[in-house]
Copies of this chain bind each other. A is one copy, B any other.
Amino acid sequence: MEQKIFLKESDIPKQWYNLAADLPSPMLPPLGPDGKPIGPEMLAPVFPMNLIEQEVSTQRWIDIPEEILDILYRWRPAPLRRAVNLEKYLKTPAKIYYKDESTSPPGSHKPNTAVPQAWYNKQFGIKRLTTETGAGQWGSALAFACKLLGLECKVFMVRISFDQKPFRKFMMQVWGANCVASPSNETNAGRKILAESPDTPGSLGMAISEAVEAAVSDKSGKTRYSLGSVLNHVMLHQTIIGLEAKKQLAMVGIKKPDVVIGCAGGGSNFAGLSFPFVADKINGANIKIVAVEPTACPTLTRAPFAYDFGDTACTTPLLAMYTLGHAFVPQPIHAGGLRYHGMAPLVCQGVVEGLIEAKSLNQTKCYESALLWAHTEGFICAPETSHAVAAAIDEAVKAREEGKEKTILFNYSGHGLMDLVGYNKFIEGQLSDYELPQEELEKFTSCLRDLPQAKPQKTGKW
């Protein structure tokens, strides 16, 4: 029995799947500063119109241009793998499959959307993309995509990461991106913050403000902004993960998984694997679909469903989502990709409907699972991915206790080779757990009362 299931390049999915086409209840629209639903044209200074069309589309299948596939072939189709060594260790009757998204050049699922975003921008005549990055996972993916497509790339990297974690910055440099510490002197937003607090460590919110400003203020009109998660078109591009996984499961005779798991920060890797299975669930399949988040940033498990801004500086449209409040300051846990205050609206609507379950895990449990993974399967996973590994282990143990031969599928969203400091701290006993206190949660979400209220719609079927 083969442990690695490879799909031929010629069998790669040729279309992305759009969950918006199949949601049982409609999503609430994004709102503008006036509290009214925004039209596509309001996004035009920030994104190219072809991506805005995808953002608002309710078409079920959207063709993947051949030129995008030509770039994805560098690492796609990604392997589906069976964790036979972990299964043996756990003595579980469950089959644990995982989709290995760590094999891309930047080492995660992020280029699945970075490449299409760069390509559509180029088609639209754009010459330059701006973005923000925290620890650098997204910035390096966009740098990679822009280099292959011949676009300029400008990355505003949160200063404390820029100074303390130089390796992702060097990676962006290899792919020719211009990466600066944020706040910088290059934007009004940055200059204003620096004048007030010259020694600020920066934040993702500040970096977003700078990246958006750098895009919309370019008078040539040839610069746009790019976001690595949360938005509908990002989820769309990531569905290639789940669509490939379905074909690969079929290759080993599995009609459907019993459990599908992904870690969730902004939602993109979780959505990428799970949405094609959410569609099956809508059509009657019995699949448990689990989004795993950290207890330190419990967006889906404890936050209210509300209209909120996507950024700290309140410059984006209001999105209806589970949110800890746009001013939320997450603890410095090592899973940098899971520290966003909000969550992709499409994922949130899946949770509202009951199609998707959410759970939160402590980081020490996740690191323990990551070590067990490294000691059995051999590979070193990203701290974000360790949340999915831990949840998969929980499900496999449950299957053993129930004596059920379940098929568990999870998304291995990235490797941890750039995150070894976190492992070192865990092994040295320097990491502790953090559960967001209720009064903190209430403090951060209190700002939502002053914004338009969101009434989530659901059918109640799940």
Q: Is the CB of A175 within 8 A of B374?
A: yes
A404 within 8 A of B: no
A457 within 8 A of B: no
Distance to closest chain B CB from A130 (angstroms): 21
- Chain B residues with CB under 8 Å of A148's CB are 375, 378
A147 within 8 A of B: yes
A447 within 8 A of B: no
- Chain B residues with CB under 8 Å of A436's CB are none
Give A107's nearest chain B residue, CB to CB: B417
Q: Which of B2, B3, B167, B427 contacts A420 (CB 8 A)?
A: B167
Q: Which of B85, B105, B107, B424 contacts A170 (CB 8 A)?
A: B424
**Which of A4-12, A299-307, A354-362 contacts the other chain?**
A4-12
* Interface residues of A, count at CB 8 A: 39
Distance to closest chain B CB from A238 (angstroms): 19
Distance to closest chain B CB from A441 (angstroms): 34
A55 within 8 A of B: no
- Chain B residues with CB under 8 Å of A144's CB are 378
Contact with B along A412-424 (1 / 0, CB 8 A): 0000011011011
Q: Which of B6, B74, B85, B170 contacts A423 (CB 8 A)?
A: B170
A171 within 8 A of B: yes
Q: Is the CB of B3 within 8 A of A73?
A: yes
A173 within 8 A of B: yes
Question: A residues 375-425 with Cβ under 8 Å of B?
Answer: 375, 377-380, 417-418, 420-421, 423-424
Q: Is the CB of B173 within 8 A of A427?
A: yes
- Chain B residues with CB under 8 Å of A105's CB are 374, 378-380
A85 to B3, CA, bound (A): 29
Distance to closest chain B CB from A103 (angstroms): 7
A13 within 8 A of B: no
Number of copies: 2
Distance to closest chain B CB from A143 (angstroms): 10
A371 within 8 A of B: yes
Q: Is the CB of B378 within 8 A of A421?
A: no
Give A170's nearest chain B residue, CB to CB: B420
A176 within 8 A of B: yes
Contact with B along A62-95 (1 / 0, CB 8 A): 0000000000011100000000010000000000
- Chain B residues with CB under 8 Å of A377's CB are 74
Q: Is the CB of A176 within 8 A of B375?
A: yes
A4 to B103, CA, bound (A): 13
- Chain B residues with CB under 8 Å of A171's CB are 380, 417, 420
Q: Is the CB of B174 within 8 A of A371?
A: yes
Distance to closest chain B CB from A216 (angstroms): 29
Q: Which of B10, B85, B378 contacts A2 (CB 8 A)?
A: B10
- Chain B residues with CB under 8 Å of A375's CB are 147-148, 175-176
Distance to closest chain B CB from A83 (angstroms): 10
Give A415's nearest chain B residue, CB to CB: B417
Give A167's nearest chain B residue, CB to CB: B420
Q: Is the CB of A423 within 8 A of B9?
A: no
A7 to B93, CA, bound (A): 28
A417 to B137, CA, bound (A): 13
Distance to closest chain B CB from A165 (angstroms): 11
Q: Is the CB of B174 within 8 A of A378?
A: no
A423 to B143, CA, bound (A): 15
Contact with B along A85-113 (1 / 0, CB 8 A): 10000000000000000010101000000
A459 to B197, CA, bound (A): 76
A173 to B374, CA, bound (A): 11
Q: Is the CB of B374 within 8 A of A174?
A: yes
Q: Is the CB of A74 within 8 A of B378?
A: yes
- Chain B residues with CB under 8 Å of A85's CB are 74
Q: Is the CB of B427 within 8 A of A174?
A: yes
User: Told that A74-B85, A147-B374 touch, could you supply 16 new A-B pairs with CB distance under 8 A?
Assistant: A4-B6, A4-B9, A74-B377, A74-B379, A103-B103, A105-B378, A107-B417, A147-B375, A170-B420, A171-B380, A173-B427, A174-B380, A174-B423, A174-B427, A175-B374, A417-B417
| A-B residue pairs in contact (CB < 8 Å), sample of 16 | A3-B73, A3-B74, A4-B73, A74-B379, A75-B378, A144-B378, A170-B420, A170-B424, A171-B380, A171-B417, A173-B423, A174-B371, A175-B374, A175-B375, A176-B375, A417-B418
Which 5 residue pairs across A and B have the least CB separation, nearest first?
A: A170-B420, A105-B378, A170-B424, A6-B6, A74-B378
